[in-house]
Amino acid sequence: MTDTLILGATGTTGSELVRRLAAKGVRALRATHRRPVHADDVQLDLASGSGVREAFATARRSFLMCPPGFTNQDVLLGRAIEAAREARHERVVLMSAMGADADPSAPLRKAELALERSGLPFAILRPNWFMQNFHTFWLHSIRTQGRIQLPVGTAKGSFLDARDTAACAAELLAGAAPLGSAWDLTGPEALDHDAVAALLTRACGRPIQYEDISPEAARAGLLAAGLPPDYAEFLLLILSFFKAGYSARVTDSVLRLSGRAPTTFEQYALDHRQFWA
């Protein structure tokens, strides 16, 4: 099988994608900005552009995503798309975000358009908010206060398990799924955060509640956690879209791409209950 370069290979989605590709007999080259330590590591730095062209030249297929913490996704992903074009990649899958196509001036939409116009065989995945946020980004207040603290009111979201995103990407990269389309990926149902808190409570046996907080309080928490101010504002913006109801839609894309129904939040909570116990 053709070597496939995976950006974000050590992250939540990327590491699962590497595992799924290996199960299909596909060699995944893991992009890293650090010094390579394994035979399948390939060094590159999207932020500076260092090593990007050389890294893409080592593979014929690629999975693209922007590193977290950056708001100029179009610039960073543009470097990757151009490198994939120069290397004549035969399949490119871009992980964007659900709703990115609503605003042509949004950085992620600019990256999508750059890929669509590149002439590369492509697919775009637009996942909704990941379930995994509850044991990573939102974990601190859950552990310390037993509360999910977010400025999203009573709005619902069709939360998606990142493992399902990886399953869809693996099908596209391994050549089994059709190219040339964008797919909005969601979980099987829309839940508000009170329902999420109840499912986490049931899974881990510890009382967890949801607390609706102001955007100002959320901003203070994000900055205290060390996020750059521009990225904190970006998160507040997309959380405001969640509050407005834009994350509640449910699609059948996971089933159509992966061949199985998306993971329920209840199953996710049971699989990761050790994080909240």
User: Tell me: the pLDDT tens digits for 122-171?
Assistant: 999 999 999 999 999 999 999 999 999 999 999 999 999 999 999 999 99
What pLDDT was estimated at residue 225? Answer: 87
The verdict on residue 203 lying in a domain is no
Region 202-225 average pLDDT = 96
Range of the structural domain that residue 48 is part of: 4-128+161-186+249-262
**What predicted TM-score, i.e. pTM, was given to this entire model?**
0.95
Mapped onto helix, strand or coil, the DSSP state of residue 18 is helix
Confirm whether 274 is domain-assigned. Answer: no
Burial of residue 102, with CB atoms counted within 10 A of its CB: 0-12 exposed, 13-18 middle, 19 or more buried: exposed
* Beta strand 91-95 pairing with 61-64: parallel
d(CA 75, CA 134): 29
Evaluate whether residue 205 is within a structural domain. no
pLDDT value at residue 177: 80
In this model, does residue 94 exceed pLDDT 70? Answer: yes
pLDDT at 1 over 60: no
CB of 149 closer than 8 Å to CB of 218: yes
Percent of the chain scoring above 70 in pLDDT? 100
95 forms beta bridges with 125
Of 33-37, 92-96, 128-132, least confident by mean pLDDT is 33-37
Please tell me the predicted confidence (pLDDT) of residue 213: 98
Whether residue 214 is contained in a domain is answered as no
Helices marked H in 146-264 — which ranges?
162-173, 193-204, 215-224, 229-243, 253-258
Query: How many domains does one find in the chain?
Result: 1
Mean pLDDT of the chain: 96
Read off the CATH number of the domain in which 181 is found.
3.40.50.720
Q: Is residue 221 part of a domain?
A: no
On whether residue 32 sits in a domain, the answer given is: yes
Question: What is the CA 264 to chain-centroid distance, rounded?
Answer: 17
In this prediction, residue 175 carries a pLDDT of 78
Over residues 163-191, the pLDDT tens digits come to 999 999 999 999 778 899 999 999 999 99
- 58 part of a folded domain: yes
Is 231 domain-assigned?
Answer: no
